[in-house]
Structure 1
Amino acid sequence: MASKRKRNEDSNGSDLNVKIKKGVSAGKRHIAALILARGGSKGIPLKNIKTLAGVPLIGWVLRAAVDSKVFDSVWVSTDHDEIERVAKAWGAQVHRRSPEVSKDSSSSLETIQEFARLKPEVDVICNIQATSPCLHPHHLREALEMITEEGYESVFSVVRKHHFRWQEVKKGDGTSTQALNLDPSRRPRRQDWPGELCENGSFYFATRDLIEKGLLQGGKMAYFEMRPEYSVDIDVDIDWPVAEQRVLRYGYFGMDKPEVVKLLLCGVSGCLTDGKIFLSLAGEEMVSVSVRDNVGIAMLQNGDVEVILVMSSGSLLPKALSDKLAQRTGCELRQFVGSNKEEVEKIMKERGLGWKEVAYMGNDEPDVECLNLAGFSAVPKDAPTVALNRAKYVCHSVAGCGAVREFAEHILLLKKEAKS
């Protein structure tokens, strides 16, 4: 049996979330999210943790799964140490799969069955594809309701496509091709044809009983239709730039939407500069700043985003140099004496802002709390791991070489898309 799920793509799903959480907390069934991320990808090496729009590919679906708040546990099944590290940084537990299900010939179902066998407490598994970066929490919440509230045993995601299909003919056999889903003499207009539902691979919910029988789809089953803009899949390199543009517009960036940003707090040393201090023969101290970063700051200021340069306590960069950089960019300079979080909250209080209205760009351990709390946060590509793991956006550029410009463009793009 198949069923179409009626839903509102723009709903935040808050009431639904409450209903599902009640069922989970009552101990009725343990519902787990499972992302399969083998280290031996052939198409794109280590594809699952390659950076897409500033975030590891697997990070996009992990963020959606964790923020949906409907799973009792979120897991990544992998055989690779670096994928394990990234998965944990994005809030997942890790199941180290066995060599038997880590081969090129191993199927997803075999890997899921191994997980189910070793996790007897799990009753329902949602297999989320790591290559679906436009997945949102409300997709998972609404699909799961079909299992918890409507009694379905399996639910999978689909997208509606309007493609005319034809039978394949091998060269030289002399046969004529045949239309598979249309009458060529009466070709319908797109608006007069509902199209066909095709799996988009974003997720598959299934009960333990089905999985143990060797099925991801079966029993009382239903599909969950996702809009085309959210149906992004990445298999080969050529998909990457297309997916990057799509995710910038339709991806899920977290609980707080970055389009409401009114203030950017940007570290001087390690963000605006590369953290180096040059000494001349005369003993003068100098730093280098990218012209591109200066332009990026001006772009934000013209876009009604205030920019404040900050110096963390313990910074080795002389204040005189920071003052000159602030003057050059037309920004206020704040020198922090306490924790960065406390200092930022003072600035927010002065301006009547909340964390969701603040963007923060840092580069090291003192910035971690602010990177976590800010509505939108970023680090340069060469930031230490402790900062990389907490930022919502990782720049392609390194510190002092255009990272600030890149983050500025990203903020303005999201604000523009929000208004369109």
Structure 2
Amino acid sequence: MSSSTALSARGSRLALLVIGLCWLAVLFDGLDMFIYGSVLPHLLETKTFGITPDKAGDLGSYATFGMLVGALTAGTVADRIGRKQLMTACVTLFSLASAVCAISGSLAVFGLGRTLAGVGLGGLLPTAISMVSDYAKGGRIAITIGVLMTAHHAGGILSAYVAKWLVDPYGWRSAFWVCVLPLLFVPVLLKLLPESLSFLVAKGRTEEATALADRYEVELPAVTARKTAADRWDALLGLFRGGEWLQTLLYWLASFGGLLLVYGVATWLPTLMRTEGYELANALTFVVVFNLGGIVGMLVAGRAADRFGAPRIAAIWFALTAAGVYLLSAHMPMGVTTLVVFLTGVFLNSAQTMIYATVSIRSTPDNRATAVGWTSGMGRFGAVFGPWLGGQLLASGNGDWGFTAFALAGVSSMVFIGIAALRSARQPQASDDQEKLLAAH
């Protein structure tokens, strides 16, 4: 085996190690995120803590507000302490927060637990995306992120089965105790997950970066060292310099609509399907089918985005999502409904992820965490609004309008990301230069 072939093989093993560990972390993220929606029909039926639809919507928004805080601070914190340490802290936080939910004796304490869990959940996802982007092969960032995000939907599937198997015989608290188990994964992350090479180089820790690169026989990335708080703010301000401000704003608006749709549907899908006349077991089955679609969608969209461009694929996917979500407002035969739920999952979940992929591809390695974190963070305002909106519609007796409202959010994201795609198409040279930079990385 030639030295170049050996170098490639060791680099591939390192990439697989990083992606595999991040995949497991995001799996637990998805479990913790979706578990609330999976147990919500039970909480409403038993009137646990005196919960009502509008209060349930507020609770859903508490978690997404926490995710907003976590996502907005993730880039800055990751640039300060490192992506490995931040990922470990996030897994620890949302696991312990689930314990708070499990032992809670009031709605206020339960809400506190969901808010703290949201901080950890919101901080983990953009950090994991940035981490795998660091180690992805040139030109394959979108598919790598797509593979990572299948874990989020695998966690959603797991949450539905946890609810189906444990809630009736053991109570809703048992589901949240399952979400504490990721604490056992923390020592594994600390021992096996390498720190981001880009972070080490940017912090001037060249000896540590060189030792890690030599250990796995990979090349060091070309990153400009960033050592001061002023430099970190400069990374954020760089998103608005020149003509970038409009592109950044379009991505933020598209992310707002996308996450409103994602978390609105994730929180209320089982309950809304109950209002359409389906049994609870079937409503939870729809959660499984929806997330199976999400896994398929991530793989399909990732490959399509690497070939045709992430913004273009995101716009098409959001259009198809809006159509699928709107169809769910009609009571159809079980087989047809299941197919529509599956296809909606295919397009909805991967459409939002392709926004992250677009931002990651357009960013340089040393400010990628900031760019992805802020795009995710601004979108979290939509994630806060979505669960609240669903609760208000149900509380006012307008649950049938829930799917229609979420479909309109999909249309808005299609428009914003479509405009962003058109603007990118008019700047081919800038795109080519960025791809060359990523290939070198």
**Which has the higher relative contact order, 1 or 2, with Cα contacts under 8 A spaced 6 or more apart?**
2
Q: Which has the larger radius of gyration?
A: 1
Q: Judging by fraction of residues, say which structure has more helix.
A: 2
Normalising by structure 1, report the TM-score.
0.28
Normalising by structure 2, report the TM-score.
0.27
